[in-house]
């Protein structure tokens, strides 16, 4: 009997400690309204760095190839994303992976992952270019990363990362 009383007593003590320990103060704070990701994309973006990652290499070797675009003499690659969903590119040095102009869009305006550039080719044809966003850009952020996966036989073999700084 004595053994049963101790066990019951111990069990009741543990239950009470668990009940009191499980009580946590309530937080009545609100997170506020989410940032407008679309508004964060709008502006003039100037290339700050350019790198290439070899996806076929087990070490995922990355090389800084900024000198292909940036030489300190000419204005680096610039992309202007306008509020009316149009865009234009200014480039004096390096290969243009973005087209000259067209319209732009996001895969999801509240949680974007991809940037789409719709370029107008000669005639009625158009081309859709898709890029990964390195992260969500808010209106007060000054950096935009655009990642282009270069495929070979349908599989990406190289990844180009264009890092832009906001100009306006």
- pLDDT tens digits, one per residue of 108-135: 888 899 999 998 766 655 788 999 998 8
Q: What is the pLDDT of residue 29?
A: 65
Average of per-residue pLDDT across 60-64: 91
Interacting residues of 86 by C-beta distance below 8 A, sequence separation 6+: 101, 102, 103, 104
Q: What is the mean pLDDT of the chain?
A: 86
Q: What is the pLDDT of residue 25?
A: 65
Average of per-residue pLDDT across 136-141: 86
Q: What is the pLDDT of residue 47?
A: 97
For each of the domains in the chain, give its residue range(s) and CATH number, in order of start: 37-166 (2.40.128)
Sign of CA dihedral 30, 145, 55, 102: positive
């Amino acid at each position: 009997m004595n053994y049963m009383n101790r066990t019951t007593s111990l069990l009741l003590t543990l239950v009470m400690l668990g009940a009191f320990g499980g009580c946590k103060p309530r937080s009545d704070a609100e997170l506020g309204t989410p940032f407008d990701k679309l508004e964060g994309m709008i502006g003039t973006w100037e290339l700050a760095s350019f790198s290439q990652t070899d996806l076929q290499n087990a070490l995922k070797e990355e090389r800084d190839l900024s000198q292909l675009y940036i030489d300190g003499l000419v204005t680096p690659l610039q992309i202007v994303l306008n509020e009316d969903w149009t865009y234009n590119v200014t480039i004096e040095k390096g290969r243009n992976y973005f087209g000259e102009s067209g319209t732009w869009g996001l895969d999801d305006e509240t949680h974007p992952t991809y940037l789409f550039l719709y370029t107008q080719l000669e005639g009625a044809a158009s081309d859709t270019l898709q890029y990964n966003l390195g992260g969500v850009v808010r209106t007060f952020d000054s950096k935009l990363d655009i990642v282009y996966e270069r495929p070979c036989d349908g599989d990406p073999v190289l990844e180009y990362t264009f890092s832009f700084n906001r100009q306006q």
